[in-house]
């Protein structure tokens, strides 16, 4: 329960324990008796913590939670103490109108832990619950879990919707413009035709996947909403209508964090929000990703094409209203400024970007009359603002885009200092990005503002530390969080006897100028380790370039191993490659989302190899900024960030009570000989109790536990 780490007096503790034990011993068919004891137990806790509940504890909600769990054995589900505690913590936060952070370790059943109180809160309040998570796969998994737990517990009329980002949906309006009757069999025409034939509604409908570049031609980018005659058969339009329904018309809105943040940004800026107002509760799952998601959502990207389109759209709307011909010369002048800016960005990228997605500094842009350009942009924005009162979505969108453009010009002119700016080749197009420097103020104002209780949860939120406050400190600071810290619900899995962590001390440190030396040594060690478990290994890379190198070497050195090799491919479905990996029991090379989104129970996955510790790149403008704010950047930024990611990656290994496995780290900075301060932090934070740098000890463990496959 909340705040159990507060020092107790022994007598009080015994009281609570007695109550808790009698609670457990009461037969499951007597929920009301259990409920009375729970309330007495909670009240004892509050007295102990000298924390008075802000509202009377609602016996009905707490009782109802226990009644739900009482039914678990009958509906074929296992009772887990951590899960029940999590549910009670959430009910407590809701009843007291407080925010709560709850770390819920792998295996406690986190999603049911928050879905059960959420179902009840929705029923009591008749207001929707918003659940935001960090990927589409997880949103869909939560939706499935909601259906399962809802139907088993008798919530059969729950109305729910999953909202994904616009880039996931196909746009028929765009597809219609792309179909070429003269060349109907070209790849683009074929794709457009399939969309127009209703074979494809969203990206996931394309079996075998599609590259980002191809998909970017047909996905939703600037929806024209009511003006579109495809709207009644459009999945995107339908989703946007449901997530913005009246509070009484929807029960659960499951979205990715990007969408939630975009909604908060819109509401803060005074434009129409995307998600319905007045939810009863907001649950943010995978909350360790929230900072990055807020930054991504707050980042405005401009390509030459997009910028010219914003100006064209504004011109079209305003001219239709005013018939003012001077708008044309204004627009022409602004376009010439934009073309000049992108000419320089192209030159910068050619000179400094080494690979796709490299973020480079933007050099000073000369020869542009910024004050005149800024004045003209503001004039156009002002004229649009008068029209936004009509509440037409299209005008709102152009108004918002125009304000973004004003911000870009201000940053380039040096009059706006609250943004980071960089250039990159995103999707092979020169792109300028601007991102707010500090995000904590934004979250304080829009999310942690006391209007709706917010629950932040994840399996990896904490670092080492004496108090809960210290353990949750990195995320608290990054997010500007204010609220309660709940006890960490640790994983019920037996890491001490089921797993071993191996740290390789033989590999030279990574240095950019000796990259190949490092990669060759790591490659040799990786082969040895994969042969030890006879495949069944997930190799996690922090750098795509490392993965490409190793993949190439494995192809040329195929006589060194007998297992099947799989590699994550751009645009291919994650589920597809995981299914192939499971089928062959081979080795899967991966990066990015695979650090988080892989759940393979059983012996198909017996080893996870961390190729290099996942430290953030120091030259990344965001981390450069965060480091500049810290007294000790390594301790306050780079190590905590690396630890969150490392915990996610290593969490792929043990996924059930019977799983056995090996975690291997091919980064000798973590070896005893390296004497790095963060070694202790890593060992304290990871759940692995058996740690070795001796390969023969690892071999013995693998043999004893029967991890080696008998062929």
Q: Are 472 and 381 in contact (CB under 8 A)?
A: no
Gap between the Cα atoms of 679 and 669, Å rounded: 8
Q: Return the residue of 172, 626, 645, 647 that touches ligand SF4, per CB under 6 A.
A: 172
Q: Return the residue of 57, 224, 572, 697 that touches ligand SF4, per CB under 6 A.
A: 224
| Residue 293 host element (H or E) | helix 290-298
Task: Kindly state the smallest distance separating residue 184's Cβ from ligand SF4, in Å.
Answer: 21
Task: Kindly state the smallest distance separating residue 266's Cβ from ligand SF4, in Å.
Answer: 17
Q: Return the residue of 90, 100, 104, 220 that touches ligand SF4, per CB under 6 A.
A: 220
Region of 52-60, 232-240, 275-283, 475-483 interacting with ligand SF4 (CB under 6 A)? 232-240
Q: Which residue has the tokens 């018939």?
A: 323
Q: Are 29 and 66 in contact (CB under 8 A)?
A: no
When the beta carbons of 237 and 594 are compared against ligand SF4, the nearer one is: 237
Q: Return the residue of 110, 164, 231, 652 that touches ligand SF4, per CB under 6 A.
A: 231
| Coil, helix or strand at residue 485 | strand
Task: Kindly state the smallest distance separating residue 301's Cβ from ligand SF4, in Å.
Answer: 20
Region of 77-85, 228-236, 617-625, 674-682 interacting with ligand SF4 (CB under 6 A)? 228-236
Gap between the Cα atoms of 541 and 612, Å rounded: 7
SS3 content of the chain, % helix, strand, coil (to 5): 55, 10, 35
Q: Return the residue of 223, 443, 663, 707 that touches ligand SF4, per CB under 6 A.
A: 223
User: How many Cβ atoms are within 10 Å of 51's Cβ, its own excluded?
Assistant: 14
User: How many Cβ atoms are within 10 Å of 36's Cβ, its own excluded?
Assistant: 16
Helical axes 326-352 vs 304-322, angle rounded to 10°: 170
Q: Which residue has the tokens 């980018």?
A: 221
578 binds ligand SF4 (CB under 6 A): no
Q: Return the residue of 51, 143, 173, 437 that touches ligand SF4, per CB under 6 A.
A: 173
Please count the residues of this chain forming the interface with ligand SF4, following the rule CB under 6 A: 13
When the beta carbons of 235 and 634 are compared against ligand SF4, the nearer one is: 235
Region of 110-118, 204-212, 216-224, 552-560 interacting with ligand SF4 (CB under 6 A)? 216-224
Task: Kindly state the smallest distance separating residue 173's Cβ from ligand SF4, in Å.
Answer: 4
393 binds ligand SF4 (CB under 6 A): no
Task: Kindly state the smallest distance separating residue 276's Cβ from ligand SF4, in Å.
Answer: 19
Gap between the Cα atoms of 592 and 574, Å rounded: 11
Q: State the sign of the Cα–Cα–Cα–Cα dihedral 153, 156, 157, 159.
A: positive
- Write each residue from 135 to 164 as x if it is in contact with ligand SF4 (CB under 6 A), else as -, in one continuous string: ------------------------------
Q: Are 423 and 446 in contact (CB under 8 A)?
A: no
Task: Kindly state the smallest distance separating residue 225's Cβ from ligand SF4, in Å.
Answer: 6
230 binds ligand SF4 (CB under 6 A): yes
Region of 227-235, 278-286, 379-387, 475-483 interacting with ligand SF4 (CB under 6 A)? 227-235
When the beta carbons of 177 and 557 are compared against ligand SF4, the nearer one is: 177
When the beta carbons of 40 and 216 are compared against ligand SF4, the nearer one is: 216
Closest CA relative to residue 286, chosen from 573, 521, 505, 599:
599
Task: Kindly state the smallest distance separating residue 221's Cβ from ligand SF4, in Å.
Answer: 9
* Residues between 235 and 264 with contacts to ligand SF4, criterion CB under 6 A: 236-237
Gap between the Cα atoms of 663 and 533, Å rounded: 11
Q: How far is CA 371 from the centre of its chain?
A: 39
Gap between the Cα atoms of 391 and 501, Å rounded: 58
Region of 222-230, 304-312, 379-387, 507-515 interacting with ligand SF4 (CB under 6 A)? 222-230
Instruction: State phi, psi for 198 to the nearest 5 degrees.
Output: 65, 20
Gap between the Cα atoms of 22 and 47, Å rounded: 20
When the beta carbons of 228 and 527 are compared against ligand SF4, the nearer one is: 228
> What are the CA-CA distances from residue 79 to residues 82, 108, 141 (Å)?
9, 10, 21
Q: Which residue has the tokens 């080492």?
A: 464
Region of 78-86, 170-178, 545-553, 693-701 interacting with ligand SF4 (CB under 6 A)? 170-178
When the beta carbons of 195 and 522 are compared against ligand SF4, the nearer one is: 195
When the beta carbons of 240 and 293 are compared against ligand SF4, the nearer one is: 240
When the beta carbons of 237 and 581 are compared against ligand SF4, the nearer one is: 237
Gap between the Cα atoms of 142 and 162, Å rounded: 9
When the beta carbons of 101 and 219 are compared against ligand SF4, the nearer one is: 219
> What are the CA-CA distances from residue 563 to residues 290, 692, 698 (Å)?
38, 25, 20
75: CB partners within 8 A, 6+ apart = 152, 153
* Beta strands 607-610; 691-692: pairing state: unpaired
Q: Which residue has the tokens 């998994």?
A: 141
> What are the CA-CA distances from residue 399 to residues 167, 266, 383, 406, 569 (Å)?
21, 11, 9, 11, 38
Region of 61-69, 167-175, 303-311, 622-630 interacting with ligand SF4 (CB under 6 A)? 167-175
When the beta carbons of 222 and 346 are compared against ligand SF4, the nearer one is: 222
Task: Kindly state the smallest distance separating residue 142's Cβ from ligand SF4, in Å.
Answer: 24
Q: Return the residue of 234, 281, 311, 384 that touches ligand SF4, per CB under 6 A.
A: 234
Beta-ladder partners of 691: 501
When the beta carbons of 93 and 175 are compared against ligand SF4, the nearer one is: 175
Task: Kindly state the smallest distance separating residue 212's Cβ from ligand SF4, in Å.
Answer: 18
What is the 3-state secondary structure of 524-544?
HHHHHHHHHCCCCEEEECCCH
Residues that bind ligand SF4 in the complex, under the rule CB under 6 A: 171-173, 220, 223-225, 228, 230-231, 234, 236-237
């Amino acid at each position: 329960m909340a705040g159990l780490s507060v020092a107790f007096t022994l007598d009080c503790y015994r009281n609570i324990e007695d109550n808790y034990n009698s609670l457990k011993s009461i037969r499951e068919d007597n929920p009301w008796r259990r409920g009375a004891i729970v309330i007495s137990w909670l009240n004892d806790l509050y007295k102990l913590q000298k924390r008075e509940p802000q509202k009377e504890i609602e016996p009905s909600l707490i009782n109802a939670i226990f009644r739900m769990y009482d039914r678990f054995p009958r509906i074929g589900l296992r009772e887990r103490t951590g899960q029940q505690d999590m549910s009670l913590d959430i009910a407590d936060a809701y009843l007291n109108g407080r925010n709560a952070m709850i770390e819920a370790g792998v295996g406690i059943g986190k999603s049911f832990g928050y879905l059960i109180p959420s179902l009840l809160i929705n029923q009591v309040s008749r207001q929707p619950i918003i659940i935001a998570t960090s990927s589409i796969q997880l949103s869909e998994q939560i939706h499935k879990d909601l259906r399962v737990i809802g139907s088993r517990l008798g919530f059969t009329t729950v109305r729910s919707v999953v909202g994904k980002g616009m880039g996931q949906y196909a746009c028929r309006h765009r597809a219609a413009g792309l179909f070429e009757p003269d060349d109907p069999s070209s790849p683009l025409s074929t794709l457009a035709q399939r969309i127009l034939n209703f074979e494809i509604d969203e990206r996931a409908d394309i079996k075998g996947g599609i590259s980002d570049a191809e998909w970017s031609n047909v996905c939703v980018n600037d929806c024209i909403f009511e003006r579109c005659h495809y709207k009644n058969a459009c999945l995107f339009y339908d989703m946007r209508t449901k997530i913005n329904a009246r509070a009484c018309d929807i029960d659960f809105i499951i979205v990715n964090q990007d969408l939630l943040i975009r909604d908060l940004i819109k509401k803060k800026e005074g434009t129409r929000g995307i998600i319905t107002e007045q939810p009863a509760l907001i649950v943010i799952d995978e909350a360790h990703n929230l900072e990055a998601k807020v930054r991504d959502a707050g980042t405005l990207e401009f390509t030459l094409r997009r910028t010219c389109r914003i100006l064209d759209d504004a011109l079209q709307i305003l001219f239709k209203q005013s018939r003012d011909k001077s708008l044309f010369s204004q627009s022409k002048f602004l376009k010439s400024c934009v073309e000049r800016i992108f000419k320089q960005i192209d030159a910068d990228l050619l000179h400094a970007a080494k690979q796709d997605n490299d973020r480079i500094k933007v050099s000073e842009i000369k020869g542009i009359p910024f004050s005149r350009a800024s004045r003209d942009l503001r004039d156009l924005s002002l004229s649009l603002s008068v029209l936004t009162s009509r509440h037409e979505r299209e005008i709102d969108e152009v108004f918002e885009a125009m304000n973004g453009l004003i911000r870009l010009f201000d940053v380039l002119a040096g009059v706006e200092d609250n943004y980071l700016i960089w250039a990159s080749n995103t999707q092979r197009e020169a792109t300028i990005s601007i991102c707010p420097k500090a995000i904590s103020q934004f979250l304080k104002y829009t999310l942690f503002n006391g209007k709706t209780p917010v629950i932040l949860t994840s399996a990896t939120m904490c670092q080492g530390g004496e108090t809960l406050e210290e353990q949750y400190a990195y995320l608290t600071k990054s997010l500007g969080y204010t609220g309660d810290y709940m006890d960490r619900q640790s994983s019920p899995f037996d890491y001490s006897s089921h797993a071993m962590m191996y740290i390789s001390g033989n590999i030279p440190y990574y240095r950019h100028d000796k990259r190949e030396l490092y990669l060759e040594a790591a490659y040799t060690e990786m082969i040895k380790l994969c042969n030890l478990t006879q495949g069944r290994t997930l190799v996690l890379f922090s750098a795509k370039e490392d993965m490409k190198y190793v993949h190439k070497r494995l192809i040329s050195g195929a006589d060194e191993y007998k297992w099947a090799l799989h590699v994550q491919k751009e645009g291919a479905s994650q589920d597809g490659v995981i299914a192939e990996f499971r089928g062959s029991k081979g080795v899967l090379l991966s990066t990015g989302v695979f650090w988080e989104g892989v759940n393979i129970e059983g012996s198909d996955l017996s080893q996870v190899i961390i190729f290099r510790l996942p430290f953030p790149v120091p030259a990344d403008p965001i981390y450069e900024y965060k480091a500049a704010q810290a007294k000790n950047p390594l301790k306050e930024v780079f190590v905590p960030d690396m630890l969150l990611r490392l915990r996610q990656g290593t969490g792929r290994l043990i996924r059930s009570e019977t799983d056995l496995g090996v975690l291997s780290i091919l980064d000798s900075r973590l070896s005893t000989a390296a004497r790095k301060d963060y070694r202790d932090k890593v060992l304290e934070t990871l759940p692995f109790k058996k740690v070795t740098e001796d390969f023969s000890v690892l071999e013995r463990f693998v043999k004893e536990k029967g991890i080696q496959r008998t062929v």
